[in-house]
Each structure stands twice: as structure tokens, then as C-alpha cells.
């Protein structure tokens, strides 16, 4: 009698587990697409100045992490939006932003929500919609600063940059170490969607790994990357480029190549790519000059050339 009850209970538990697993894999990951809001140069530059001033006046925002804007005295032929990586901040693009500015670009490097503040765990509260609103609003500002608009992003910022390229009028994309999917050493592919659903929707208590990364926050970027268009046709797109490093242990390098090459080929473009050799010992952050060593200047030029196609 007891054995029969135990077997029934085990069978019921197995059914519940299977149903739960099925629900996780069927859980929708849809997101709304941002809509462009045209701005004049005066409106855009005014709002950019306000954003910079807000960060400067906010004691919770650290000095080196304030929003950066390098803007000429008027609307330029080209403008670029630079989106920094997860747990990093605008200082990551200081040298690359100056290179673009010196080449005649108007440049905006906005601080991402919950980043660059005195609370070291503020980023754990991120939500995918919040990130997309930040990216879309930032692109509106950059579109008011120049006639031709492009985006550069690194890691999680590259996820947002790719989203903008697929759903907004962007002419150039440069994805640096894009976090479209984690390396298999970080999380096997079959675990990714359950992680997105369970941690991304806060169904499980958040967990911080040894690097201080929040599973809930990382899941927001992965959720966005899971919602890319399979065949995004963008008539205004002129170049798509990706740069990775062979020494990167954080991201799925094959996925980084396939997403960008598919986007390029769908729009009749040649995929532009560069892989930093493992022998250079450059890790995931390939934007901050301090980590690029003696290769910094050459790599910045390579990034710029790839961006322009």
C-alpha cells in the first residue's frame, strides 16, 4: 500500500517537472519595438546637454561614469551612438569616442540605467524594456545630431546596438564582443532559455557569480538577443561589422559571427569581421584602451575602418 502510494507520488512529481520544463521552453520572450521620434539639432543637443548635466548633478553617479557627449557646433554629416557594456560605463569608450569626433562625427556615449552609480548592485534591477527604452531614446538624440546615424556597442551594449540596427533606421553597426549568448563554459545552450525565464522574470531569487554579475540582469540582455528578427531587411543599412577576441571566455564566439553575418547578408552586404589573436592576451573588454596594451591605437583604427565598411 505504502509502496503503491509512493510510486503514484513519484509519477505525479515527474509529470509536474515535465510540465514545468515544457512551460519554461514555451514561455514567450516577446518585446515591443521602439518607434523613432524625430528631433531637430537644437532639440537633440539641448536634451544631450540636460542628460550630461543630470549625471553631473547626481551624487549617486560616479564622476568617471557620467554620460559623455562630443558635439560639434552644428549638425554633422555623421553621428554615432556608443553603448557601453554591462557593469561598465561611458568611460569605456573615451578614446574611441574622441577618434570619431576628430573624424567629424557628433558622438553620444550615454550611461545605461542602473550603471555607474555608488550602489555596486544597482544593475541587478535591470529590465529588458528599460534597456530598450534607454537605447531607443539615445538613438533619437543621435539622429538629431547627424544626417547618417550608426551605433557601436560592446558586450551587452552590442546586444542593444544590434537590436536598434534591426528595428530602427541605422546605417552602420559595429558590435564588439557581443553578448548574444554565453560561452558554453559559462552555460550550456540548453540552459539559456530556462535561465532567462526563471531569473529574468524573477521566478528564482537572484544570484551573483564570482564576477559580481547578476543572473537576473544578464538574462535581460539574453532575452533581447533571443528576440532578434530572423531576416531583418533594412534598406538604409550600409555596413555591419563585428570584432571578437580569441581569448574571450564569456561569449559564444560562433553566435557573435553568425548573428552579424546573417544581418549583413540579408541586406546584401559583406560581413566585416576581425578576430583579435589569442596571443595578444586581450580579454572580453576590447574597448577600454588600458586593456589593449600596445595594440590600442591600431585596434581603434581597425574598429573605425570596419565601422565605415
Distance CA 245, CA 274 (A): 8
Whole-number pLDDT of residue 34: 60
The answer to whether the CB of 72 falls within 8 A of the CB of 136 is no
Distance CA 145, CA 151 (A): 13
Q: Choose between 150 and 36: higher pLDDT.
A: 150
What domains are defined for the chain? 35-185+229-308 (3.40.50.1820)
Classify residue 264 by burial, with Cβ atoms within 10 Å: 0-12, 13-18, 19+.
buried
The answer to whether the CB of 126 falls within 8 A of the CB of 114 is yes
Distance CA 120, CA 88 (A): 11
For the residues 219-247, what does the mean pLDDT come to?
Answer: 96
Whole-number pLDDT of residue 38: 87
Alpha-carbon distances of 142 from 74, 89, 135, 161, 163, rounded to whole Å: 12, 18, 11, 13, 16
Whole-number pLDDT of residue 8: 40
Lowest mean pLDDT, pick from 34-48, 144-158, 175-189, 286-300 = 34-48
Within 8 A by CB and 6+ apart from 202, the residues are 216
Return the percentage of the chain with pLDDT > 90, whole number: 87
Residue 197 has pLDDT above 50, yes or no: yes
For the residues 296-302, what does the mean pLDDT come to?
Answer: 98
Q: In whole numbers, what is the pLDDT of the chain averaged over residues?
A: 91
Whole-number pLDDT of residue 122: 98
For the residues 49-56, what does the mean pLDDT come to?
Answer: 98
Distance CA 3, CA 9 (A): 10
Amino acid at each position: 500500500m505504502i509502496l503503491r502510494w509512493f510510486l503514484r507520488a513519484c509519477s505525479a512529481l515527474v509529470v509536474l517537472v515535465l510540465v514545468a520544463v515544457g512551460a519554461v521552453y514555451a514561455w514567450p520572450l516577446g518585446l515591443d519595438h521602439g518607434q523613432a521620434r524625430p528631433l531637430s539639432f537644437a532639440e537633440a543637443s539641448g536634451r544631450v546637454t540636460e542628460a550630461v548635466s543630470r549625471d553631473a548633478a547626481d551624487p549617486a553617479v560616479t564622476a568617471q561614469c557620467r554620460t559623455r557627449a562630443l558635439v560639434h557646433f552644428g549638425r554633422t554629416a555623421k553621428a554615432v551612438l556608443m553603448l557601453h557594456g554591462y557593469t561598465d560605463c561611458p568611460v569605456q569608450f573615451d578614446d574611441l569616442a574622441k577618434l570619431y569626433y576628430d573624424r567629424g562625427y557628433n558622438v553620444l556615449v550615454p550611461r545605461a540605467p542602473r550603471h555607474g552609480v555608488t550602489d555596486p548592485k544597482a544593475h541587478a534591477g535591470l529590465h529588458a524594456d528599460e534597456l530598450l527604452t534607454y537605447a531607443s531614446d539615445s538613438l533619437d538624440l543621435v539622429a538629431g545630431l547627424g544626417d547618417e546615424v550608426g551605433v557601436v556597442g560592446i558586450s551587452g551594449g552590442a546586444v542593444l546596438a544590434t537590436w536598434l540596427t534591426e528595428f530602427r533606421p541605422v546605417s552602420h553597426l559595429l558590435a564588439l564582443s557581443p553578448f548574444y549568448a554565453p560561452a558554453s563554459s559559462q552555460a550550456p545552450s540548453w540552459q539559456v532559455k530556462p535561465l532567462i525565464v526563471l531569473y529574468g522574470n524573477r521566478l528564482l531569487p537572484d544570484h551573483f557569480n564570482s564576477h559580481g554579475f547578476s543572473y537576473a540582469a544578464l538574462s535581460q540582455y539574453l532575452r533581447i538577443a533571443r528576440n532578434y528578427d530572423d531576416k531583418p531587411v533594412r534598406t538604409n543599412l550600409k555596413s555591419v561589422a563585428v570584432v571578437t577576441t580569441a581569448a574571450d571566455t564569456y561569449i559564444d564566439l560562433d553566435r557573435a559571427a553568425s548573428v552579424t553575418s546573417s544581418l549583413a547578408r540579408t541586406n546584401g552586404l559583406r560581413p566585416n569581421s576581425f578576430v583579435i589573436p589569442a596571443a595578444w592576451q586581450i580579454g572580453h573588454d576590447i574597448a577600454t584602451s588600458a586593456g589593449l596594451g600596445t595594440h590600442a591605437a591600431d585596434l581603434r583604427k581597425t574598429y573605425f575602418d570596419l565601422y565605415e565598411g
